[in-house]
Structure 1
Amino acid sequence: MSKTTPEQNKALVLEAFDTLFNKRDYAAAERFWSDRYIQHSAHIGPGRDGLFNLVRTLPDTLSYENQLIVAEGDYVIAHGRFSGSGRPAAWIAADVLRIEDGKFAEHWDVLQDEATEAQSVSGLPMFGDKFPA
């Protein structure tokens, strides 16, 4: 049974993502990711170290913006944009996190390159209300 509310869990995810991806404060980020953290993403090495080591290899211009966040029990899904990674397009991500004892215990993600207006068959942006420049 969860000891935290969905609102507390959403706030935890947003603070953690800002700390790691925007501020690049690895020491502070350790308080959010369990030392037993399980990483299910195919492009990230195992555990907290796998994630932190990946972020260390990315340009300082990396940033995370959140569009939508939902929570139920110990699970949070954050829909956001990772830009400035040096890739040709930003990644639009749905990150799924399981929280245990106030820290991230597990993570899954679904990633897509952000489409330009010319690439969007629907004519709608994937993130927010504007297409990327």
Structure 2
Amino acid sequence: MTLATPAKNKATVLEAFDALFNKRDYEAAERFWSPNYIQHSAHIGPGRDGLLGLTRALPETLRYENHVALAEGDFVILHGRFSGHGLPRNWIVADIVRLDEGVLVEHWDVIQDEATEVESKSGLPMFGASFA
């Protein structure tokens, strides 16, 4: 049994997201995501196969950028932007991932279309320090 620290879990999830969404390294993704992966997202089919299938179906231009990563125990929360997916708006996403012995085993998310500066009631961007 390995005792993963929150910092190690955070690094693992960031590396997994980069491998899958930016590098499209499906072999690495199969090492990061458990074969018994539980998917709670309403936008992604069940299990690891649902996630990998969705990613394979998206354009090669898909990119994930991380803005904030927090970890506590076996949970990691990411605040990031998905762009290049072929839809009119980037997605701003809060991903919650649970790990078990360094492997991603469960996922939840909240997804929003990125607001423009004109649409932002606060006048602030949803991602980063300035509007895209």
State the TM bucket, normalised to the shorter chain. Answer: over 0.9
**1:99 matched to which residue of 2?**
99
Whether the 8 Å CA contact 1:2–1:74 is kept in 2: the answer is no
- Please state whether the residue corresponding to 2:56 is helix, strand or coil: helix
Distance in 2, matches of 1:25 and 1:125, equals 31
Unaligned runs of 5+ in 2: none
The structural deviation recorded for 1:64 is 0.3
TM-score (norm. length: structure 1):
0.97
Identity within the alignment, %: 68
TM-score (norm. length: structure 2):
0.97
Distance in 2, matches of 1:30 and 1:53, equals 12
Unaligned runs of 5+ in 1: none
Change (3 A) 1:2 1:69: farther
Distance in 2, matches of 1:42 and 1:112, equals 13
**1:20 matched to which residue of 2?**
20
Distance in 2, matches of 1:25 and 1:36, equals 19
- Please state whether the residue corresponding to 2:31 is helix, strand or coil: coil
Alignment length (residue pairs): 132
Question: Which runs of structure 1 show a deviation greater than 3 angstroms over 4 or more consecutive aligned residues?
Answer: none
The structural deviation recorded for 1:67 is 0.2
The structural deviation recorded for 1:12 is 0.2
